[in-house]
Each structure stands twice: as C-alpha cells, then as structure tokens.
Amino acid sequence: MENQGVKYLWGPLRALLRKWPERSWLLILSVVTGIACGLAAVLLKVTIHAIQRGLEPLAGPRPWLYLILPGAGMLLSLLIVRYIVRDDIGHGVTKVLQAISKNESKIKKHNTVSSLVTSALTIGFGGSVGAEAPIVYTGAAIGSNLGRYMGLSYRGMTILLGCGAAGAVAGIFNAPLAGVLFTLEILLFNLSMSSILPLLLSTVSATMVSYLLLGRNTQFACSLVEFSMRNIPFYLVLGVFCGLSSLYFIKMTLFLEDWFGKRLRNPYLKWAVCAAGLGLLIFLFPPLYGEGYEDVGMLLNGQGSGTVWFFALVLLLKVFAMTFTNAGGGVGGTFGPTLFVGALAGYVVASALNLIHPGLVPVPNFVLVGMAGLMAGVMQAPMTAIFLIAEISGGYELFLPLILTSAVAYGVTRLFEKYSIYTKRIAQRGELLTHDSDQAVLTLLRTGDLVETDFVPVRIDDPLQALVDAVTRSNRNVFPVLDARGRFQGYVDLSDIRRDMFRTDLYETARVYNYMHSAPEYVYPDEPMDQVMRKFGKTGAWNLPVVDREERRYRGFVSKSKIFNAYREELRDFSQD
C-alpha cells in the first residue's frame, strides 16, 4: 500500500514537471540528485567506519588477523558481485565515461546500491583502495536513473549524471567546488554556463547533507607552516617528482591489471593469490592496510615515523596493494590511493631535502601539496587537484605552491602519457569523449546504426541477366557482389554495365565478375566512427561495404552522406543550451 501511495503521489508530479521546459525542471532534479548523493556518501562513510570499529575488538588482541581481514572483505565482495549483482562494477569512473559515450548516459539500476555495498565491505575489512570511485559510480547511477525515469533527453540525462558524480565527490569530501571541477575536467564536455548551474546546485545540496549529518570537520586537518617564496624551487622539484610518480602509478597499474587478467582466469584462484599477496605486503608495510588516511593525517601533522627509504618503498608498493585488492574481487577506486601516494611523495621529497640541509622545507606543507601533484598527474585534472586539496585541508594559504606543483606534475605526465588512468583503456578502443566537439560527436555516432541495407545483392557467378534484373528492382547505383555463403566479394557500379544493359546477346554469356570491382576498404559494425572517417579520407570513396570481422559476411553499406546527416543532427543536439 505504501509503494502504491508513492506511485500515485509521484505520477502526477512527474506529469506536471514534464510540462515545463527541460532546463527548468533539470534544476529541481539536480537538487534531488545532490541530496540523494549526499545521503549515499554519508551512508558509505558511516558503514565503512562501522565495519572497522566492529572488527577492532576481534583483531585487537590478535594482530595477525589484520593480514587476513582484507582477503575476507575481498571474498565477500567477490561473492556478492558474482552471485547477486552478476555484473562488472569495478573501475567506477571509467564505467561512467563509457556510459556517457556508448550507452546514452544510461547506467543500470543496481549500480545505485551495488558499488556502495561492495566497496564498504572491501574497505571496511582493510582493502587497500579508495571509496571515492565507487561513490562516484553510485552518484552517477542515481542521476542517470532519475533522468531516465523523468524521460530526459541525452543531454539532460548526461548533465544529471554529471550532477550525481559531482554530488558524490562533494558529499564524500565536503568539497562542493571540487565536485564541480571533477565533473567538468574528467566526465563532461562542451557545457555552457547555464549547464553548470545544475552541477553547482547538486554539489551544494550534497555538501549540506554531509555537513548536517557528519559535521563540518575537514577531511585532513593539518598543521601547516606559512608559505615562503624561497621554497618555490623545491616545489618545482616536488612537481617533477609527482609527475614521474604519476607515470609509474598509471603504467604499473595498467600493467598489473593486464597481467592478472591474462594469467589468472579462475576468480577464486585469483582471489587466493591476491589475498595472500596483499596480506604479505601489509605484514611488511602496515601503512598499506586500508585507505591509509590515518597515516596521511599523521604526516600532515608532522607525526610520521619512518625513514625516507621505508616510505619510498610504501609509495612504490601501494600500486601493488591496490591492484591486489581490485583484481582479487574487491571493489574500490584509485582516487584514494592517489591521495595516499601523493602524500608519501611529498614526505619523501621533503625528508630528502631536509637530510641535505636540516629544516630546509616544512614537511606537512610538502605532504599536502604532493597530494595535489599526484592527483594532477594520475587523473590529469589539475584544477580538481588544486581546489580539492585546498577544500579538504583548509590549506588555502598554500594556493601558489598547489598551483605550481600541480601544473608541473601535470605537464611532466602529459609529456609521456596523453591519457589519465581513467581514460587510457577507453581511448585505446576509440570510445573516449573529449573536449573537442568534432571528436566527441564522432565518438557518439555508432557505425552499426548507420548501415544502409537497401542495396540489391547479386552472386559473383550470376549472368548479366540477373544483374539487369537487380537494376530494375533497385533505387541504388551500387550492387554488392556476394558468394554462395553470403561473403562480400566486391561491387558493381551502374555506370560499369550501362553500355551492355541492352545487349541481350550478352545476358547469358557475360558474368557479374566481369564487371566487379574490389572494395578499397572494409568497415566493421563495431568500428569507431573516427576510424571509419579515416578510411573514407584515405580511399576517397563515397560508399564502403560493412562486413563481419570473422567471415566477411555482407551487412550493408555506410555512406558519407548518411554519416554527415547523422553528424549534423548529433552536433545540433550536442551543442544546444
């Protein structure tokens, strides 16, 4: 009865909202999305801390359990994903990007809950990953499903998806501006100023929910030293080190993921290997247990204990601990580990400089700025890095070194790596939306949707009579030539047979293959549109055949005119306010 009442109440409200211009009620939906994402972020935080507190009495007298608990959390997540969710929910930010570019910004309903539950178990039990990517996936799913329920256009649903992601970042960090910048730099593209307003409303709403329920304490309270201009050269050194560390972080993560994906196919064997590997790393380097934010807090307040070499090794091994967690069935992101490694990068550089000249640079300042530097490099989002670190620490007096270090780290990373850790995979598949409108529109076009099938095919050994009959039945000037198994062999153009069409003496003696041309290129139904356009440019053709990859079975033709028409329609929708 309660669900029935909600249905009757919400139905008329939805009908009323749909009478308004989409731009108007998108503002209302952005606030609703922000509130929902703020609640989800608070729930995730509270659940993680509750699991951690619940395990302390069990593991306190038995410290060796801390080596086993992360594996147990990974196994619980693996079982939930494998037998309940039955879907791949890892790499949350990358999945959101894929939804925007390849699935009309539609995300499955279960993602509003599944990432939240599994990441809470993974991190609560000590998995060496972050909660930020799963909550971004959760927030984006909330926005996407609300937009789909309200019947939004692709653009409207994409903006609401972005509101969900922005609200999730704002809610988990209490950082509204960083939430907006994260969405603009990493997820969305080509937004007008009027489109940014929903993002702002969403992040403010989510932050207010987080403030009301958890208080206004900053995520990383720290003891900073007043900025001195004489330290600028050392912040440049830190920027270079963060850039190189970012390259290591990106390339090693992708290498390890590929290695585990190819070498260990059985999920339970993979879990066993990864759980054992993570337990061994935690035994040797205890800071690798969990998110590591407590250790970051200690470094920010000058309470870190350990040699430069110890923390340098932790910096290098965090990537392994993170990959073990995710590959072994856990659900978590790279956002948190990036902050952790950045803090260690700052500590290592500052400590090394102070070994050369005691008291040369303030360690807490470098720890904080290092977090921004690594974010700027790994995520290739320098603006997000600058404002997020300032917001979550209250370290606004370090704005100049934050900007300087982030810019240098970003520049060094971009010299050697064009894509971020989130976009590398989908860029290799040609599915990445960019801030270049032309490229973004091409990415949104699907080759399979533009195949024209109204061509009349002929067999390669058919007589001219059959070809003439095909001409009388077709409105096209091109005729695909197939073999007995339906495989594409070539094509005949109407101009090639114009002289012989009325020579009845050739109707039985001349064959189709006498008039056939080979195709200059083939197009595949799943091929990215930018590659298709390169083939048109290379061959100068106006039509190209579309065939299956395996047996070259004929599917139809794709034409420049069809692509240009679809491009113009997509560009119109893409560019409208």
The predicted-structure confidence for 241-258, as pLDDT tens digits, reads as follows: 999 999 999 999 999 999
Asked if 206 and 251 sit in the same domain, the reply is no
Asked if 167 and 91 sit in the same domain, the reply is yes
Stretch 542-560: mean pLDDT: 87
Asked if 261 and 382 sit in the same domain, the reply is yes
pTM of the model: 0.80
Q: How many CA atoms lie within 13 A of 303 on its CB side?
A: 10
Strands 543-547 and 554-559: antiparallel
Query: Which tokens in the block code for residue 551?
Result: 């047996």
Stretch 449-461: mean pLDDT: 87
- Does pLDDT of 3 surpass 70? no
For tokens 């304490």, the residue is 217
Q: Give the domain-ending residue among 399, 427, 455.
A: 427
Domain-located, residue 23: yes
Asked if 199 and 259 sit in the same domain, the reply is no
| pLDDT bracket for residue 6 (50, 70, 90) | very low
Domain-located, residue 221: no
Asked if 309 and 379 sit in the same domain, the reply is yes
Domain-located, residue 196: yes
Domain-located, residue 76: yes
Q: What is the pLDDT of residue 565?
A: 77
DSSP letters, 479-528, are EEEE-TTSBEEEEEEHHHHTTTTT-GGGTTTSBGGGT-B--S--B-TT-B
Q: Give the domain-ending residue among 387, 402, 427.
A: 427
Are the beta carbons of 205 and 31 closer than 8 angstroms? yes
Distance of CA 529 to the CA centre of its chain: 20
Asked if 384 and 256 sit in the same domain, the reply is yes
- Does pLDDT of 76 surpass 60? yes
- Does pLDDT of 545 surpass 60? yes
Asked if 79 and 145 sit in the same domain, the reply is yes
Stretch 398-407: mean pLDDT: 93
Domain-located, residue 3: no
CATH of residue 27's domain is: 1.10.3080.10
- Does pLDDT of 94 surpass 90? no
Q: Give the domain-ending residue among 162, 187, 214.
A: 214
Asked if 174 and 261 sit in the same domain, the reply is no
Q: What is the pLDDT of residue 2?
A: 43
Q: What angle do CA 289, 291, 292 make, to 5 degrees?
A: 70
Residue 309 structural domain = 229-427
Domain-located, residue 494: yes
Query: Which tokens in the block code for residue 425?
Result: 């995979």
The closest alpha carbon to 125, from 175, 80, 158, belongs to 80
Asked if 487 and 347 sit in the same domain, the reply is no
Asked if 446 and 558 sit in the same domain, the reply is yes
Q: What angle do CA 208, 214, 218 make, to 5 degrees?
A: 85
| Number of separate domains in the chain | 3
Asked if 402 and 486 sit in the same domain, the reply is no
Of 5-9, 388-392, 506-510, the least confident: 5-9
Asked if 383 and 518 sit in the same domain, the reply is no
Domain-located, residue 434: no
Burial grade of 192 (CB within 10 A; 0-12, 13-18, 19 or more): exposed
CATH of residue 476's domain is: 3.10.580.10
Angle between helices 267-284 and 69-80 (to 10 degrees): 150
- Does pLDDT of 187 surpass 90? no
Q: What is the pLDDT of residue 359?
A: 85
Contacts of 12 (CB under 8 A, 6+ apart): none
Q: What is the pLDDT of residue 20?
A: 63
Q: List, for residues 121-150, the tens digit of each pLDDT value.
A: 999 999 999 988 899 999 999 999 998 888
Stretch 453-457: mean pLDDT: 87
Stretch 368-378: mean pLDDT: 95
Domain-located, residue 134: yes
Strands 488-493 and 478-482: antiparallel
d(CA 559, CA 544): 6
- Does pLDDT of 217 surpass 80? no
Higher pLDDT, 49 or 8: 49
Q: List, for residues 319-354, the tens digit of each pLDDT value.
A: 999 999 999 999 998 999 999 999 999 999 999 999
Could you give the strand order of the β-sheet that contains 488-493, starting from the edge strand earlier in sequence? 458-459, 478-482, 488-493
d(CA 487, CA 490): 9
